Amino acid sequence: MKIFYSTTHQLHEPPFELYEGGIHMPYLENPDRMERILTTLKTKAWTEIYEPEDFGIEPILAVHDADYVEFLRTAYKEWMQEETDYEKIMFLPATFAPRGCSRVPKSLLGRAGYYMSDLSAPILEGTYQAALGSANCALSGAKAIQMGEGVAFALCRPPGHHAGKSNCGGYCYLNNAAIAANWLSDAGKVAILDIDYHAGNGTQDIFYERGDVLTISIHADPDFEYPSYNGYADETGAGPGSGWHRNFSLPAGTDDARYLSSLGEALDLIRSFSPVSLVISAGMDLYSGDPLGSFKVTRDAIREIGARVASLNIPKLIVMEGGYNNEALGENIAGLLEMFIQGNLLERKE
């Protein structure tokens, strides 16, 4: 399996995050996540690791608003040039835009509250470069399956599925899966299957009114879990996209059987949509014991998820999203990928 990975992710390493109630916590979306995965994957005979190619800014601007991307690119430098009397550690907003606000403020902190949806996605000096590298990993994987690979894996960091057209949040800055899916859509219909524990609200935002990209997210019910404001079952698309978005919002404590039942429904939807390619947003925070999750999904079930999705006879791009149990992360993602390799070998024999 071709795996695309860039060391640029190491440029993004926030020193802490502000958790519920303003508690300073270790930043869970940290570089160690990728190193744990990479260390495990290098022990596998089927691993082929590649540097991503640079696709330029155009595929990103095809998904994200240009003014938002410019904000990501310039915010940290602009902040450092401002004269202040406090220590500058990482850039975060002081206020957030109220509902219905469409005016983009002129001040830097005002723009921060407009483009940043929460406190989990701070901007550091290297954040923009890390996000570009992550998007290029996804695009390189998309190119690989377009050129004939049955399956490819984009080892993306920062993750992307919470990033909308014009906002970052939930550790995400550029929506890697959406950028890749949009790039692939030039060749025909694309489906996105998000198996991260949290709803793929950014992906939903980007494709909600499009009929050529089916988006499905299987996740914890936002009534009790992040992102709170999107990811509900009655959000099914609008305009040309009406009926082409589906949220499976599951309760706390969801076990293997409950999860796999929802996955079966999702796979039926994908089959009926008949896409020419599939993008999987692979978050491993669905795993039992993840510090940000409440599901009881086992490693065996993660492998079963891989086996069932691999049975779809279309090219597949797997994009790394969340997963914060670093001790288990490498083996969990390796187990998932191994099932795709087995499925790909079966397709070739057929």
pTM over 0.95: yes
Q: Name 59's Cβ contacts closer than 8 Å, sequence gap at least 6.
A: 135, 139, 179, 182, 183
Using CA atoms, how far apart are residues 34 and 28, in angstroms rounded to an integer? 12
pLDDT score recorded for residue 102: 86
Q: Which domains does the chain have, with CATH numbers?
A: 2-349 (3.40.800.20)
CB atoms within 10 A of CB 319: 32
**DSSP string for 297-327:** B-HHHHHHHHHHHHTS-S-EEEEE-----HH
Inter-residue contact 323 to 333 (CB < 8 Å): yes
pLDDT tens track, the chain, 350 positions? 999 999 999 999 999 998 877 788 999 999 999 999 999 999 999 999 999 999 999 999 999 999 999 999 999 999 999 988 888 999 999 899 998 888 999 999 999 999 999 999 999 999 999 999 999 999 999 999 999 999 999 999 999 999 999 999 999 999 999 999 999 999 999 999 999 999 999 999 999 999 999 999 999 999 999 999 999 999 999 999 999 999 999 999 999 999 999 999 999 999 999 999 999 999 999 999 999 999 999 999 999 999 999 999 999 999 999 999 999 999 999 999 999 998 665 555 55
pLDDT score recorded for residue 23: 84
The single residue of 162, 198, 219, 245 carrying the catalytic annotation is: 162
Catalytic annotation on 12?
no
Q: Which of 186, 260, 265, 206 is nearest to 233 (CA)?
A: 265
pLDDT score recorded for residue 344: 66
